[in-house]
Amino acid sequence: MQTLDKELSRHVEVARTEPVPIERYGVPWVWIVSHPLWMEVDFLKSFVPDDHALVALREAIDSTLAYEGAVLGELTLQCASGVDARVITRAWLLQIVYSLADAKRVREGLGYNMLWRWFVGYRLRSEPLPEPQAFIRDIGMISADPHAIDIVCRCLDNSALLAADTEEFCINYGLLHTLRSHHGELARASARSSSASFQSRIERGGQALTG
């Protein structure tokens, strides 16, 4: 520390071009790193190859999400992790395109895969990830929402993805089809129930007028 106090200006000057280690009691304590170098190390975009399939997929999902502000705003309010629903939706999309067994695998991957972390919406490697249990629960919530299912399906139908090198992916279309069919059946059942209820009210009203 005394050395740092005495020679701070010299250390800072050296740090403009390379990191400078500072010891305390003979043990490494801190590093002085210039802002440009720190950003180069911390900026997640530096881990992203321009021609990687996830780049095209990110463009596709962002184009789709741009028109779903109201839906995503409501979903964000339901997220226990405090994370934006756009991040959760992209994370669930990773589970789909890589056919991962469960959301836990996605959360684990975000811990070390900087490309995945960039894909879901983080900018810096130093940004903290959400608490695993809440994050996994949020993916489950998003994957059960019919609007979110429709968003992901439309994204995967996007021509930008089809033009990419999709050998990177092993898309679980079966799961999406099952979820979409399930919610379609629920919607049709709800519509039939509403129609029956409406018809019943009409009939009761007619009987009342006749009486």
89-100 tens-digit pLDDT: 999 999 998 989
Nearest residue to 100 (alpha-carbon basis) of 122, 79, 116, 84? 116
SS3 80: coil
Cα 98–Cα 126–Cα 30 angle in degrees, nearest 5: 140
Here the tokens at position 134 are 């809440």
What is this structure's pTM? 0.70
Domain boundaries, the chain: 2-42, 47-187
Continuous segment of H or E residues that includes residue 204? helix 173-210
Here the tokens at position 98 are 């890589």
* Lowest mean pLDDT across 100-114, 164-178, 187-201: 187-201
Supply the mean pLDDT for the chain: 78
What is the distance between the alpha carbons of residues 125 and 50, in angstroms, rounded to a whole number? 18
What number is the average pLDDT over the span 103-119?
95
Q: Is the pLDDT of residue 139 over 70?
A: yes
pLDDT of residue 169: 82
Continuous segment of H or E residues that includes residue 138? helix 132-143
What number is the average pLDDT over the span 134-149?
92
C-alpha to C-alpha distances, 76 to 8, 63, 124, 204, nearest whole angstrom: 46, 18, 21, 42
